[in-house]
Copies of this chain bind each other. A is one copy, B any other.
Amino acid sequence: MTSRAHPVDGGDLSPATDGGDLPIKSSPHRHKVGIPPKQNMFKDFMYTFKETFFHDDPLRDFKDQPKSKQFMLGLQSVFPVFDWGRNYNLKKFRGDLISGLTIASLCIPQDIGYAKLANLDPKYGLYSSFVPPLVYACMGSSRDIAIGPVAVVSLLLGTLLQAEIDPNTNPDEYLRLAFTATFFAGITEAALGFFRLGFLIDFLSHAAVVGFMGGAAITIALQQLKGFLGIKKFTKKTDMVAVLDSVFSSAHHGWNWQTILIGASFLTFLLTSKFIGKKSKKLFWVPAIAPLISVIISTFFVYITRADKQGVQIVKHLDQGINPSSFHQIYFSGDNLAKGIRIGVVAGMVALTEAVAIGRTFAAMKDYQIDGNKEMVALGMMNVVGSMSSCYVATGSFSRSAVNFMAGCHTAVSNIIMSIVVLLTLLFLTPLFKYTPNAILAAIIINAVIPLIDIQAAILIFKVDKLDFIACMGAFFGVIFVSVEIGLLIAVSISFAKILLQVTRPRTAVLGNIPRTSVYRNIQQYPEATMVPGVLTIRVDSAIYFSNSNYVRERILRWLHEEEEKVKAASLPRIQFLIIEMSPVTDIDTSGIHALEDLYKSLQKRDIQLILANPGPLVIGKLHLSHFADMLGQDHIYLTVADAVEACCPKLSEEV
């Protein structure tokens, strides 16, 4: 038995099988803990580098291909249109045409309203639905995303720009700064993708995004009260207190009942159509075209009744013609350059978060792969080109993408269709929007942002993780009661704090043997698991790095202390072996090794032997390099906890 217990020269696996000869196991011997072959330093570094930045192996298809094929693949990789374009057919076009027309009817009224959120003329909203979708259609890899201005980014951009330049007194400078910010938003997005740093946007946690979006939706809806109630004097702040104060202080003379009547009736119409669309998936087109119908009817109604003379505010003027060039308007020097970069980086990151989330969601639904980094380059390029053609920040719109998906789009051609419809609108139809009441646009925006308030998701977050819920609520209330930036800052800070907590406070668990098996599991999860007398088995559930090495050491000593007190109280045999289950410890650094050394020394003083079970390839390699494995002794490292316990047992009995 003693010889068996030695890890090198053999032995059995399960303590339950002790003393029984198992005919089935022809050559019962214990496996040693494998030490992976030593890697060449450069190779090792390249491997880590590749796994970090190129984990999706983007060049996989290029291997072993002739030069001409490689060129074609490269072209397809930058412009996926060359890939899917070759298999394009009429059947696909039919789907794309229908979905393109549907999202166009949805986007035109939204665009006009969103541009106002960014304190820009309505035409810039339409411009931004013309150029960027065309660029994206050539470069993007998502088949379902619908590109254009979106509510949250418009609001964020409007708030950030307004803090720098007053849009009423300095409209030209304001516009130039908007283009500058758009340019740098594009550069930021493209750079993140190009340098394969796309994972940075993953640092905004889902919970924080849910809270931020919900708060932004409410803020946007509150902003619409201006148009909805026909108020002329309205606060520039976005926090709830200021807005409601502004609304109620103007209640007596500032509200316009005709406006309210128009707004309320069409909002009811929109909500009803949304309800119909939810009831039957086949009727998805009802809510999709309802906004355009509302615009047409209400415009006609105002034109007939001349309600604008009764104080109903209308769009009044919408320039005819396509996007003028705006390259010369971008600031490339001076104070405004720095401001533009700062605003662009923030707006670009938020826009990216939304677009990437949409891309992933629909890709998972249809099971195709999206290369996140390539996607970012596409989104970035479309904003860079957009900034030079009078567009402001465009990204993927969740509501329009969902309609696009349901209308049966097959490829990015639906974006091209939409873009053409917007082009035609800009060329010929803009004068028709003259009498469109602002209240309708407000109703359309309120209707559009309601789904951003995702109460279901918040409930799930509450159930699953309380800390996440705090992050979610922090972002939500930050946006509502302070400002969009502060809400975003709270969201990012809490997300980071959570990562830091996760890294510094890894979990540890005491393991017990599950009866009649050689399996050791957390005794809190498996109350039937029993601890072996004289042996304490602890699992450390994380890589041991400088950020947590001291915590791990201290926590293990506390487990030991608690267990020793229990043992003393029950007058059981004293603990002689401390087994650390290292399976989840995927890596260790010098601080971690020092912590193990310190632990080893502490245990030595108390006459407790330290034993490691199943250190991973990296860990065992480093333990050998640092000579800790020699200090501990090779016979104190086992393949499994069961092996280690079996090895301890005979030694235990000697003393008892």
Contacts of A25 in B (CB 8 A): 16, 516
A52 at the interface (CB under 8 A from B): yes
Contacts of A51 in B (CB 8 A): 505
The segment out of A122-130, A381-389, A570-578, A591-599 that lies at the interface is A591-599
Interface string of A506-542 (1 = CB under 8 A from B): 1101000010111101101111100000000000011
Q: CA–CA, A29 to B516, complex, Å?
A: 9
Point out which of A204, A495, A501, A547 has the most chain B C-beta atoms below 10 A from its C-beta.
Answer: A547
Asked if residues A500 and B203 are in contact (CB atoms below 8 Å), the reply is yes
Known: A48-B467, A468-B589. A514 touches B545 (CB 8 A): no
A504 partner, pick from B202, B498, B524, beta carbons under 8 A: B202
Instruction: Return A346 CB to nearest CB of chain B, in Å.
Output: 19
Closest B-chain residue to A37, C-beta based? B527
Contacts of A598 in B (CB 8 A): 360, 364
Asked if residues A625 and B525 are in contact (CB atoms below 8 Å), the reply is no
Interface string of A113-145 (1 = CB under 8 A from B): 000000000000000000000000000000000
A251 at the interface (CB under 8 A from B): no
Chain A contacts with B in 581-634, Cβ cutoff 8 A: 583-584, 586-591, 593-594, 597-598, 601-602, 605-606, 614, 616-617, 620, 622, 625-626
Asked if residues A584 and B584 are in contact (CB atoms below 8 Å), the reply is yes
A17 at the interface (CB under 8 A from B): yes
Q: CA–CA, A558 to B605, complex, Å?
A: 48
Chain A contacts with B in 356-378, Cβ cutoff 8 A: 360, 364-365, 367, 369, 372
Point out which of A41, A365, A500, A639 has the most chain B C-beta atoms below 10 A from its C-beta.
Answer: A500
Asked if residues B617 and A525 are in contact (CB atoms below 8 Å), the reply is yes
A324 at the interface (CB under 8 A from B): no
Contacts of A372 in B (CB 8 A): 550
Asked if residues B526 and A31 are in contact (CB atoms below 8 Å), the reply is yes
A466 at the interface (CB under 8 A from B): yes
Asked if residues B206 and A499 are in contact (CB atoms below 8 Å), the reply is no
Chain A contacts with B in 33-63, Cβ cutoff 8 A: 34-36, 41, 44-45, 48, 51-52, 55-57
Contacts of A616 in B (CB 8 A): 509, 522, 525, 541
Known: A56-B554, A519-B13, A586-B584. A499 touches B501 (CB 8 A): no
Interface string of A337-359 (1 = CB under 8 A from B): 00000000000000000000000
Q: CA–CA, A22 to B522, complex, Å?
A: 26
A466 partner, pick from B41, B199, B501, beta carbons under 8 A: B41
Q: CA–CA, A499 to B554, complex, Å?
A: 21
Asked if residues A517 and B13 are in contact (CB atoms below 8 Å), the reply is yes
A502 at the interface (CB under 8 A from B): yes
A546 at the interface (CB under 8 A from B): yes
A543 at the interface (CB under 8 A from B): yes
Known: A367-B606, A516-B28. A622 touches B464 (CB 8 A): yes
Asked if residues B546 and A495 are in contact (CB atoms below 8 Å), the reply is yes
A545 partner, pick from B199, B502, B548, beta carbons under 8 A: B502
Asked if residues A27 and B516 are in contact (CB atoms below 8 Å), the reply is yes
A457 at the interface (CB under 8 A from B): yes
Range of interface residues on A (Cβ < 8 Å): 35 or more
Known: A464-B626, A586-B542. A503 touches B505 (CB 8 A): no
Contacts of A467 in B (CB 8 A): 48
Contacts of A468 in B (CB 8 A): 589-590
A551 at the interface (CB under 8 A from B): yes
Contacts of A28 in B (CB 8 A): 516
Instruction: Return A185 CB to nearest CB of chain B, in Å.
Output: 22
A24 at the interface (CB under 8 A from B): yes
A55 partner, pick from B206, B528, B555, B622, beta carbons under 8 A: B555
A584 partner, pick from B498, B504, B517, B583, beta carbons under 8 A: B583
Closest B-chain residue to A539, C-beta based? B583
Known: A500-B499, A547-B202. A463 touches B625 (CB 8 A): yes
Asked if residues A20 and B20 are in contact (CB atoms below 8 Å), the reply is no
Q: CA–CA, A543 to B507, complex, Å?
A: 10
Contacts of A588 in B (CB 8 A): 464
A205 at the interface (CB under 8 A from B): yes
A336 at the interface (CB under 8 A from B): no
Known: A55-B505, A55-B551, A503-B503. A457 touches B590 (CB 8 A): yes
A654 at the interface (CB under 8 A from B): no
Asked if residues B20 and A16 are in contact (CB atoms below 8 Å), the reply is no
Asked if residues A202 and B23 are in contact (CB atoms below 8 Å), the reply is no
Q: CA–CA, A369 to B598, complex, Å?
A: 11
Q: CA–CA, A516 to B545, complex, Å?
A: 34
Interface string of A198-222 (1 = CB under 8 A from B): 0100111111000000000000000
Contacts of A528 in B (CB 8 A): 31
Closest B-chain residue to A53, C-beta based? B505
Contacts of A450 in B (CB 8 A): none
Asked if residues A591 and B499 are in contact (CB atoms below 8 Å), the reply is no
Known: A31-B519, A583-B583. 14 other contacts (CB 8 A): A13-B519, A29-B516, A31-B517, A34-B521, A45-B466, A202-B547, A202-B550, A202-B551, A203-B547, A207-B591, A369-B557, A464-B589, A542-B542, A583-B584
A-B contact pairs, 30 of them (CB 8 A): A22-B24, A31-B514, A31-B528, A41-B466, A44-B466, A55-B558, A199-B550, A202-B547, A202-B549, A203-B546, A205-B589, A364-B602, A367-B605, A460-B626, A464-B589, A464-B622, A465-B590, A499-B545, A502-B503, A502-B545, A502-B587, A503-B503, A507-B587, A509-B616, A514-B639, A519-B639, A521-B614, A541-B586, A542-B586, A584-B584
Closest 7 pairs between A and B when the two form their complex, measured CB to CB: A584-B584, A364-B598, A205-B546, A525-B617, A206-B591, A541-B586, A367-B605
A binding-site residues for B, Cβ under 8 Å: 13, 16-17, 20, 22-29, 31, 34-36, 41, 44-45, 48, 51-52, 55-57, 199, 202-207, 360, 364-365, 367, 369, 372, 457, 460-461, 463-468, 495, 498-507, 509, 514, 516-519, 521-522, 524-528, 541-543, 545-551, 554-555, 557-558, 583-584, 586-591, 593-594, 597-598, 601-602, 605-606, 614, 616-617, 620, 622, 625-626, 639-640
